[in-house]
Amino acid sequence: MTTTETEEKNAAPGDGTGAGMIEWLGWTIQKNEMVDATASALRTACQKVLAVEDAWASMDMKTLDIESTVSRFRIKHRGDMKDQTLNTYEQRFRQTVDMYGKWLAGDQTWKPTQRKRTVRQPPSNGPTSTTSAPATPTATEPTPSKVDLPPQPGMITYPFPIRPGMQGQITLPEDLSVKESKRIAAFISALAFEDEAQPLAIEARRYDDE
């Protein structure tokens, strides 16, 4: 067992070291502080980026030269990783270092922003009145500004042309499996309003060939 492996194994979440940060991500899963998939994706990215450092396990993350580490990571993997993958790993590494630093300092804002689910109201089954009540003057409230939420870890949005002059987007997991891609393709085919049977038949034959 190498020195780095020993330090990583013996690290504690509060060490403030590279190994401590990796151990901290595991701690967030055990304590239900972060979703398992999110923490695992961050941990994979951090291990990839930190691997360019000879003694990354014992490095002080509070004084780490992030720009230098990221630069050497990009140079090392420029030929064997796609630009999108490099960008994703860099973004996750920077995010983790920032969160870990805040957690070490006792800053409760370290947790990543969670997407809120919209609850739809069930339709009313009662009769509706066609007579509207007189409008009550109310104070004009400012229109809330749009808030751009950060991309969900592990997901990538791909643009694709639907027809001339129309382009759509689809967000998929970074590690999409063949089985999942087939389910998505079949689902999209089922959404078509015209020539629905033909695409499904073609899709079925393609799966049989595979």
Residues paired with 189 in a beta bridge? none
- Per-residue confidence band for 178, with pLDDT thresholds at 50, 70 and 90: confident
- Per-residue confidence band for 204, with pLDDT thresholds at 50, 70 and 90: very low
Q: Are 60 and 21 in contact (CB under 8 A)?
A: no
Q: Are 63 and 49 in contact (CB under 8 A)?
A: no
| pLDDT tens-digit readout, 186-201 | 787 767 665 544 444 4
Residue 140, φ and ψ in degrees, nearest 5: -70, 125
Residue showing tokens 């590279």? 18
Per-residue confidence (pLDDT) for residue 196, from 0 to 100: 46
Which tokens sit at 92?
């996750």
Q: Are 150 and 111 in contact (CB under 8 A)?
A: no
The model's pTM: 0.53
Residue 101 CA to residue 99 CA, distance in Å, equals 5
Residue 70 CA to residue 50 CA, distance in Å, equals 9
| pLDDT tens-digit readout, 56-94 | 999 999 999 999 999 999 999 999 999 999 999 999 999
Alpha helices by DSSP H, 62-196: 66-77, 83-104, 178-190
